[in-house]
Structure 1
Amino acid sequence: MGRTNPTYRDRLDSQEQAWGDYRRGLRRHEKAHFDALWEAARTHADASGLQNPGDPMDVILLSICLEQQKAISSLEDRVTELQPEESNVQD
């Protein structure tokens, strides 16, 4: 029987391994951030697999951007909650 095509998750793991030398070159405190980027890409693996990209880095980067946008929106909401209302601010 013929071989099946690798799944998106397989391709994601392969890409992460390909960036292994880069990761090894990072400072210790940067490695956790690097790993978090790959975890963000895994978060959207189901949607990325449906896209079936020719180059998996396209959806890997989009997934990372999506997670970062979610974090930005959450922080913006938090800042809004913490800021006093402009009508209550006395000059």
Structure 2
Amino acid sequence: MRIDLFLKNSRIIKRRTIAKQACQSGRVLINDKVCKPGDEVAVGDIIEIRFGSSSPRFRVKELIDNSNKDNAERMLEVLED
């Protein structure tokens, strides 16, 4: 699954265009590497997003193509640093 689509489906970022812009500006990392909007994400990958002074990290648990509010939480695990 593309990273911009994953960010939208998991409800980390509400719109795919915003997720795409975040990737293009170098704010999104997959396994500590800056990614492009079309890069693929897999189960077990670590995603980090740089929002101002915070950098939340998530582990991909499941890939769901058409997620809704109820199953979006199953897609990721929030990591503490």
TM-score interval (norm. to shorter): under 0.3
Flag the structure with larger Rg.
1
Greater relative contact order, per chain length (Cα 8 Å cut-off, separation 6+): 1
More helix by share: 1
More strand by share: 2
